[in-house]
Chains A and B, each alone.
Chain A
Amino acid sequence: MTDVHRRFLQLLMTHGVLEEWDVRRLQKHCYRVHDRTAAVEELEDFINNINSVLESLYIEIKKGATEDDGRPVYALVNLATTSVSKMASDFAENELDLFRKALELIIDSETGFASSTNILNLVDQLKGKKMRKKEAEQVLQKFVQNKWLIEKEGEFTLHSRAILEMEQYIRETYPDAVKICNICHSLLIQGQSCETCGIRMHLPCVAKYFQSNSEPRCPHCNDYWPHEIPEVFDPEKEREAATSRATKRSLRSRQH
């Protein structure tokens, strides 16, 4: 464990969840500060080394992927579920209960999304201080800002941060309702399902499994897979797109 690793951990902790490209940037920054001459270790090994030290503290840097487009993301997660949790320290009792209600609706839903209306209708059942619907709307926005929930057109689903941090808790608390991906066997909130046998797969798992397969078939029942196959996430293409966006932005801003 060197200062490179310590600074990395300190700064990683300021993010609830971080995309892989930004994690690499962070790693390089820490090397620049503490050990300019050293070769930057391969990220996977770098993280594994840190994780072996974190093991005795029951935390780890966990890697996951966004459920909609398969971007690799990282978060520092707690492995021992106790009452000391990041979320518990940032929110009041009734706010946490609102999250729990939203979580249950999301898990029970077919699409992995719960509508704002359905969540807000449960406001009277919350533990703790009474909360009005107007207030609950703002609390939901707070969850979005803090990366616990994602909002799409008035519906809410779990942010990759929540999935990474709470997978264990969710699997143990809702063992019957929970959906699992047939390919990676991890928790599934959003995904595609086979209309014949009902197995489910994450969109990025579908992309990888059916890559360059002209006749996609269900891995379980072999029936024709009826859904559109998404593209595998390509970090190179993503960076090109990001830099071209940035260049366009700076050109525009220079015009005045």
Chain B
Amino acid sequence: GDMLQKPRSRGRPNSQAERERDWGRGAAEEAPSTSRGAGSSQEARSASSQGSRRAEASPEVGPRSQQQLELKVAELVQFLLIKDQKKIPIKRTDILKHVIGDYKDIFPDLLKLAAERLEYVFGYKLVELEPKSNTYILINTLEPVEEDAEVRGDQGTPTTGLLMIVLGLIFMKGNTIKETEVWDFLRRLGVYPTKKHLVFGDPKKLITEEFVRQRYLEYRRIPHTDPVDYELQWGPRTNLETSKMKVLKFVAKVHNQDPKDWPAQYCEALADEEARARPETSGPAPSS
């Protein structure tokens, strides 16, 4: 091993060394130090020229060093990775509050740089959940393989099996299905809404809450039903992470058949594939 600690060529910004660092403060705290002290080295000239244009006093926005920008992008990349691990879509407001802070004026550039790094380094694509939703998720550009499960550190998600089954049910039934129909089917597999499951825990909570929160499913009450019934449809994340064709192939595999054995669904899946092949207009850049 190293006998001597090599001084890091990339020193952290000085202001951080002086402040009391508190890694445990958590998301409730303000954005970290790079947003402060940015004005410490700036010239008075640039400050006053900006002040004369704006009526209110805003935090000094002088020239920021290359290192400060780099650090900001690094923080943003980390934030997005951590948030996405929980599979909760990331709100733009949270990004601004917890990471961007005083760098709000260059938020689009920071996000673009972060998105580039995420894709180049990790193979994750930053996409907006729906146009103008101002929420983001990460899509894996690498195809998961079965053997990944053997080298992963987390459970991956044993629950994805259940999700795929539900997605399959929804698609095969014409893109919408009643909750009661879902349970009629799942009961045959030994999965009940009211009974704790060895693998899935609380299947009802998983399907109607967890998957909905992760935006894989949409869960809506059907009006005028008595007893109350709900309908389930694909959520916006599903269309981004998988496709009708992939889900159809999954269903076919489960039945040991060919996707073409369901001509209506196969046609629909093909049309969906063609629509996807057309050039996309949406990207990670935030909508104004």
Which residue numbers of A lie inside 8 Å of B, CB to CB? 1, 3, 6-7, 9-11, 13-16, 18, 22, 25-26, 29, 32-33, 53-59, 78-89, 91-93, 96-97, 99-100, 166, 169, 172-173, 183-186
Cα separation A173 to B24 with both chains bound (whole Å) = 12
Least Cβ–Cβ distance between A131 and chain B, in angstroms = 15
Whether a CB of chain A sits under 8 angstroms from the CB of B210 is no
Distance between Cα atoms of A69 and B204 in the complex (Å): 45
**Residue in A6, A16, A58 whose CB lies within 8 Å of B71:** A58
A97-B24, A184-B2 known; A59 vs B12 contact (CB < 8 Å): no
CB distance from A17 to the nearest CB of B (A): 9
Check A29–B23 contact: CB distance below 8 A. Answer: no
* Beyond A6-B123, A6-B142, 8 extra complex contacts between A and B, CB < 8 Å: A6-B122, A7-B148, A9-B121, A53-B121, A79-B10, A79-B12, A88-B23, A93-B26
- The complex places the Cα of A33 from the Cα of B8 at a distance, in Å, of 35
Contact, CB under 8 Å: A83 / B122 = no
Which residues of chain B have C-beta atoms less than 8 A from A169's C-beta?
A: 21, 23
CA of A29 to CA of B146 in the docked complex: distance in angstroms?
Answer: 11
- Whether B140 pairs with A84 at a CB distance below 8 angstroms is no
The smallest beta-carbon distance between A85 and chain B, in angstroms, is: 5
Q: How far is the CA of A172 from the CA of B75 in the complex (A)?
A: 20
* A-B contact list, 12 entries, CB within 8 Å: A6-B121, A6-B123, A9-B123, A15-B153, A29-B148, A53-B121, A80-B16, A81-B23, A83-B26, A84-B79, A88-B25, A88-B26
CB distance from B205 to the nearest CB of A (A): 20
Tell me the complex Cα distance, A99–B22, Å: 12
B21, B27, B141, B145: the one contacting A88 at CB < 8 Å is: B27
| Structural contact, A13 and B148, CB atoms closer than 8 A | no
Once A10-B123, A26-B151, A185-B3 are accepted as A-B contacts, the answer to whether A57 and B74 lie under 8 Å apart by CB is: yes
Among candidates A7, A59, A93, residue contacting B28 with C-beta atoms closer than 8 Å = A93
Shortest Cβ distance from A138 into chain B, in angstroms? Answer: 18
Tell whether, in the assembled complex, residue A55 and residue B10 are in contact, meaning their CB atoms are under 8 Å apart.
yes
Rounded to whole Å, the gap between the CB of B159 and the closest CB of chain A is 15
Question: Which residues of the other chain, A, contact B154 by a CB distance below 8 angstroms?
Answer: 14
In the complex, chain B residues whose CB is within 8 Å of the CB of A6: 121-123, 141-142
Report the Cα distance A187→B128, complex, angstroms.
42
Question: How far is it, in angstroms, between the C-alpha of A141 and the C-alpha of B147 when the chains are bound?
Answer: 30
Given A14-B154, A57-B117, A88:B24 Cβ within 8 A: yes
| Cβ–Cβ < 8 Å partners of A186 in chain B | 1, 5
CA distance A81 to B15 in the complex (A): 12
Distance from B120 Cβ to chain A, minimum over Cβ atoms (Å): 6
Among A16, A81, A91, A185, point to the contact of B21 (Cβ < 8 A): A81
Main secondary structure of the interface of A (DSSP, over half): helix
Cβ-defined contact, A80 with B74, below 8 A = yes
Nearest-Cβ distance from residue B68 to partner chain A, whole angstroms: 11
Assuming the contacts A57-B117, A82-B75, A84-B75, asked whether A29 and B98 have C-beta atoms less than 8 A apart, the reply is no
Q: Looking at the complex, which one of B77, B121, B152 makes contact with A1 (CB distance below 8 Å)? A: B121
| Interface set, chain B 24-82, CB cutoff 8 A to A | 24-29, 31-33, 70-71, 73-75, 77-79, 81-82
Q: A53-B121, A169-B23 are in contact. Are A89 and B82 (CB under 8 A)?
A: yes
Select B27's contact among A33, A58, A89, beta carbons within 8 Å: A89
Chain B residues near A172 (CB, 8 Å)?
17, 21
Q: B98 contacts which chain A residues (CB < 8 A)?
A: 83-84
Q: B106 an interface residue at 8 Å Cβ cutoff? A: no
Cα separation A57 to B24 with both chains bound (whole Å): 20
Q: How far is the CA of A15 from the CA of B78 in the complex (A)?
A: 16
Chain B residue contacts of A99, Cβ below 8 A: 24
A173: chain B residues at CB < 8 Å are 21
In the complex, what distance in Å separates the CA atom of A15 from the CA atom of B154?
7
Q: Which of B5, B141, B153 contacts A18 (CB 8 A)?
A: B153
A202, closest chain B residue (CB)? B1
Q: Which residue of A lies closest to B86 (CB)?
A: A89
The answer, among A11, A15, A87, A184, for a CB contact under 8 Å with B1, is A184
Which single member of A33, A84, A85 contacts B147 (CB below 8 Å)? A33
